[in-house]
């Protein structure tokens, strides 16, 4: 089991991963321009040229991180299609489950999330993708009469993404709320509205 001297995690791979991890940290905390290659390699215990052994440029590693984030996010999204024929209670919990998985994902990948969802120029595009996906789901459910017929679901999707965005920064990354709590609150707010229906 495992060849001698060639086990996964060989030195080079480790160095590359170290650089990636540290770069994610630095980019997340300081943004693209304020992050220096010199800092990254120093923290990784390497010298500058080593960086270029693994990445062709500062842009390249940044893009790689964005790509990783986007890729994982898409993967997540694919496995979360809502199946039809649910009653209303199940719908709520179903939506909540989707939101939980997103918040959990963000929570598990805080650095990547900061980079790909907040810092990168591509963040806008990534969000557009999520909005499209959510819109699609909402429309299906709207057609099945679970939702009001007079709502513009794209606008709704934008609102939800905006809510996710804000809560991720202010509640999730500050450890003030858990993914579950956030998901439930969003469902509660968006499904039933603010209005006091008990006279």
Choose the one of DNA, its own copies, none that binds residue 173, judging by a C-beta under 5 to 8 angstroms depending on kind. none
Cβ closest to DNA, residue 29 vs residue 176: 29
Taking CA atoms, 106 is separated from 24, 29, 118, 143, in Å, by 14, 15, 12, 30
Contacts by 68-74, CB closer than 8 A, 24 or more apart: 68/112, 69/109, 69/112, 69/113, 69/115, 69/116, 69/117, 69/126, 70/116, 70/122, 70/126, 72/105, 72/109, 72/112, 73/105, 73/116, 73/126, 73/130, 74/129
Out of 6, 9, 145, 175, name the contact with its own copies by CB under 8 A: 145
Q: How far apart are CA 129 and CA 17, in angstroms?
A: 28
- Residue pair 45/39 in contact (Cβ under 8 Å)? The answer is no
- Contact call for residue 137 and DNA (CB under 7 A): no
- Contact call for residue 193 and its own copies (CB under 8 A): yes
Question: To the nearest whole angstrom, how small is the minimum distance from the Cβ of residue 125 to DNA?
Answer: 22
Out of 163, 173, 174, 183, name the contact with its own copies by CB under 8 A: 163
Cβ closest to its own copies, residue 69 vs residue 146: 146
- Contact call for residue 165 and its own copies (CB under 8 A): yes
Residues at the contact surface with DNA, assessed by CB under 7 A = 5, 10-13, 15, 35-38, 45-53, 56-59
Binding site for its own copies (CB under 8 A): 32-33, 88, 124, 127-128, 131, 138, 145-152, 155-156, 158-159, 161-167, 169-171, 182, 185-186, 188-199
């Amino acid at each position: 089991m495992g060849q001698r001297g060639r086990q996964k995690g060989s030195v080079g791979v480790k160095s590359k991963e170290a650089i990636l991890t540290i770069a994610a940290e630095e980019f997340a905390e300081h943004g693209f321009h304020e992050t220096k290659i010199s800092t990254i390699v120093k923290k990784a215990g390497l010298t500058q040229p080593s960086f270029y052994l693994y990445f062709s440029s500062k842009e390249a590693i940044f893009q790689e991180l964005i790509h990783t984030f986007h890729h994982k996010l898409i993967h997540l999204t694919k496995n979360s299609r809502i199946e039809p024929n649910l009653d209303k209670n199940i719908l709520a919990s179903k939506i909540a489950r989707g939101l939980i998985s997103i918040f959990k994902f963000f929570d598990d990948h805080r650095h990547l999330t900061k980079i790909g969802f907040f810092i990168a120029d591509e963040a806008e595009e990534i969000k557009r993708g999520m909005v499209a996906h959510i819109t699609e789901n909402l429309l299906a459910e709207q057609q099945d009469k679970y939702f009001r017929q007079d709502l513009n679901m794209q606008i709704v999707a934008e609102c939800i993404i905006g809510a996710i965005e804000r809560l991720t920064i202010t509640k999730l990354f500050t450890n003030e709320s858990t993914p579950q709590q956030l998901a439930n609150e969003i469902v509660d707010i968006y499904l039933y509205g603010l209005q006091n229906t008990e006279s």
